[in-house]
Amino acid sequence: MSDIIQLLPDHVANQIAAGEVVQRPASVVKELLENAIDAESTFIKLIIKESGKTLIQVIDNGKGMSVTDARLSFERHATSKIRSAEDLFDIHTKGFRGEALASIAAVAHFELKTKQVHDELGTQIDIQGSEIKTQDVIVTPNGTSVAIKNLFFNIPARRNFLKSNNVELRHILDEFHRVALAHPNIGFSMHHNGNELYNLPICNYRQRIVKIFGSKTNEKLVPVDETTEVLKVSGFVMKPEFAKKTRGEQFFFVNDRFIKSSYLNHAVNAAFEGLLREKTHASYFLFLEVDPKTIDVNIHPTKTEIKFEDEHTLYAILRSAVKHSLGQFSVAPVLDFDRDSNLDTPYNYAHKAVKTPMVEVDRTFNPFEEEERKPVSKIGASDFKGSSKGTSWESLYVDTKIETPSETVFSSVAFETDTVTSSMFDDDDQDLKQNTFQLHKKYIINTIKSGMLVINQQRAHERILYEDFLKNITVKEGVSQQLLFPICVDFSPKELDVLRSLKSHLIQTGFVFSKIEGHLEIVGVPANLEEANIPEVLEQLVYDAQYEVSDQSFSQSDMIAKSLAKSMAIKTGRKLTEQEQDHMIHSLFGCKEPNVTPCGKATFVTMRVDDLDKKFN
């Protein structure tokens, strides 16, 4: 048989390599910013158009390149940063693989302008899909400017794979933040579609964090500082009371390089043990310095994962450093490190007032009395019902029904229900009431003509709320509930931008904002939103708006309805009264698509009597 193996041409090899290095516009941003830092720049300007789909440009005032270097920089494995294999284990620069420029140039239109300080004139090189189109001598400032246009112009599949502009911009901002946070000694600016989003002068770490995440951040930061022989940790953790439900601000930098490490994240969380509310995550900005010889950064093409020589020691040091800071700044009840932390009062309980146990006695009880009287337990239950009236669930199905006129959305849903479900349920309405019960605080069971209906309470409520919100946004404004006192929720400037872009839709759902510039002040919320849950619901919304809108086919209103429905739906574990169970069933079957959640998961299943019969055979 003849030989069949051949070497791939360079441009094909480059395109394959690009698959690893250049996943989306944000990857290009990261590589270019890192090159500018390696070039010892003191000011770096990032210019983006259409979330990087049409332009990504990085201009630096670094050391620039000679004509020959400029030409060589696009070759694969061309780097000025290492010379031998040993150097791989003593990396002091961001780059060293020499493949970023080659990869990017393989999948975009590439324009490089560069000049070294001691040269009169600079060099311009234009490349399209690995092919050099022109090379000129030009007049240009000291430093380098790299402009990437039409990313993935020659790989349509890749281009189509890109997410909406919102999502791609989000990823770019994430990369920008990571680089800017790690280098407060460098000034940065960032422009998107002609607007300046950031202008960050040279400053210290704390100022950089505050400049990026908003002035309110300052008071939330607790400094961490610990130097040992193997590791120096500095930076900040956020006070536990500001922990968020979404994993927003978690940053590890090792030798000024942003890295992801679930192991180190675990160490920080361990230090926060007992201090965080349920399902919230600690925020942190931690800078670790280790001897470059003890880490391997070359295990992943994007270099965001690294291997440590002695992970266990780092874990222990990091954990105690964070714990120490939390203790020192009296954030935590634990100051004494030798104590068994299991013996400490969990934070949630530490500030709780002592409550005297009470014994309930039914003073009207007379064992000889013949006539019907209410048992003690029943009184307790009705009391409870009264007190829980303000909860989101109750207000949706009870309060609104009483207080709003009959043509409100809720009532109309209930009205539709009757017609839609009448054929499915047993004819006798009374039957339906009696035959409903809750299983494991998760499912609502109901008898239907053919057998049994099992509804997942959380998912069903999500569907109901989703359709309600969608109606509010698109057809008819939702009912707003005025807050007694305005509520302020902390958001960074960029998060406020996101909220502003959603403002008109949010108003339709019932939100009323008295201030949305500088900080957020809310005076009204959708009728079924509990006051205590407002920050969490909005945080989730901002997060979803940034990360979850997968493509343009899902409109902004759809995203908002989905997000609000998800975070406001009553959850598994919530006990429902019979009346609530009934409402749930009616409202669910009043929905346009009762079978599935907005994300397509089943809301209920049915089990036929025949099927049950078979099981008894």
- Interhelix angle 556-568/493-509, rounded to 10 degrees, is 90
Phi and psi (nearest 5°) for 112?
A: -110, 130
E-only strand ranges, 260-318: 284-289, 295-296, 307-308
What is d(CA 118, CA 518) in angstroms, rounded to the nearest whole number?
46
In whole angstroms, the minimum distance from the beta carbon of 131 to ligand ADP comes to 17
Task: Assess 81 for contact with ligand ADP (CB under 6 A).
Answer: yes
| C-alpha distance from residue 47 to each of 140, 216, 289, 466, 547 (Å) | 18, 27, 31, 38, 22
Residue nearest to ligand ADP (CB): 95
Q: Of residues 10-69, which lie at the interface with ligand ADP (CB under 6 A)?
A: 31, 35-36, 39, 60, 62-65
What is d(CA 578, CA 567) in angstroms, rounded to the nearest whole number?
23
Task: Assess 96 for contact with ligand ADP (CB under 6 A).
Answer: yes
SS3 call for 489: strand
Please identify which residue in 35, 481, 508, 528 interacts with Mg ion, judged by CB under 5 A: 35
Task: Assess 143 for contact with Mg ion (CB under 5 A).
Answer: no
In whole angstroms, the minimum distance from the beta carbon of 96 to ligand ADP comes to 5
The letter for the amino acid at 77 is H
- Short-list 27, 54, 36, 24, CA closest to 188: 36
The stretch near ligand ADP (CB under 6 A) out of 97-105, 266-274, 423-431, 469-477 is: 97-105
Task: Assess 581 for contact with Mg ion (CB under 5 A).
Answer: no
Residue number with CB closer to ligand ADP (75 or 490): 75
In whole angstroms, the minimum distance from the beta carbon of 461 to ligand ADP comes to 51
DSSP 52: G
Residue 97 contact among Mg ion, ligand ADP, none, beta carbon within 5 to 8 Å by kind: ligand ADP
Using CB under 5 A, count the residues that bind Mg ion: 3
B/e letters for 431-470, b = 16+ CB within 10 Å, e = fewer, are ebeebbebeeeebbebbbeeebbebbbbbbbbbbbbbbbb
Q: Of residues 118-157, which lie at the interface with ligand ADP (CB under 6 A)?
A: 144
Please identify which residue in 54, 66, 88, 98 interacts with ligand ADP, judged by CB under 6 A: 98
In whole angstroms, the minimum distance from the beta carbon of 73 to ligand ADP comes to 3
Residue 96 contact among Mg ion, ligand ADP, none, beta carbon within 5 to 8 Å by kind: ligand ADP
The stretch near Mg ion (CB under 5 A) out of 33-41, 402-410, 463-471, 607-615 is: 33-41
What is d(CA 60, CA 39) in angstroms, rounded to the nearest whole number?
8
Task: Assess 116 for contact with ligand ADP (CB under 6 A).
Answer: no
Give the burial class of 91: count Cβ atoms within 10 A of its Cβ; 0-12 exposed, 13-18 middle, 19 or more buried. buried
In whole angstroms, the minimum distance from the beta carbon of 247 to Mg ion comes to 28
Phi and psi (nearest 5°) for 5?
A: -85, 135
Residue 81 contact among ligand ADP, Mg ion, none, beta carbon within 5 to 8 Å by kind: ligand ADP
Residue number with CB closer to ligand ADP (52 or 143): 143
In whole angstroms, the minimum distance from the beta carbon of 157 to ligand ADP comes to 24
Residue number with CB closer to ligand ADP (59 or 538): 59
The letter for the amino acid at 555 is S
In whole angstroms, the minimum distance from the beta carbon of 34 to ligand ADP comes to 7
Please identify which residue in 64, 95, 214, 510 interacts with Mg ion, judged by CB under 5 A: 95
DSSP sequence for 91-152: --SS--SS-HHHHHHHSSEEEEEEE-TT-SSEEEEEEETTEEEEEEEE---SEEEEEEESTT
Task: Assess 95 for contact with ligand ADP (CB under 6 A).
Answer: yes
Residue nearest to Mg ion (CB): 95
What is d(CA 272, CA 237) in angstroms, rounded to the nearest whole number?
10
| CB neighbourhood size of 607 (10 A) | 15
Please identify which residue in 14, 61, 73, 250 interacts with ligand ADP, judged by CB under 6 A: 73
Structure tokens at 534: 């407002």
Residue number with CB closer to Mg ion (94 or 562): 94
Residues pairing with 257 in the sheet: 254
Please identify which residue in 28, 47, 100, 172 interacts with Mg ion, judged by CB under 5 A: 100
Task: Assess 104 for contact with Mg ion (CB under 5 A).
Answer: no
Task: Assess 91 for contact with Mg ion (CB under 5 A).
Answer: no
The stretch near ligand ADP (CB under 6 A) out of 94-102, 119-127, 335-343, 483-491 is: 94-102
Residues interacting with ligand ADP, by CB under 6 A?
Answer: 31, 35-36, 39, 60, 62-65, 73, 78-81, 95-102, 144
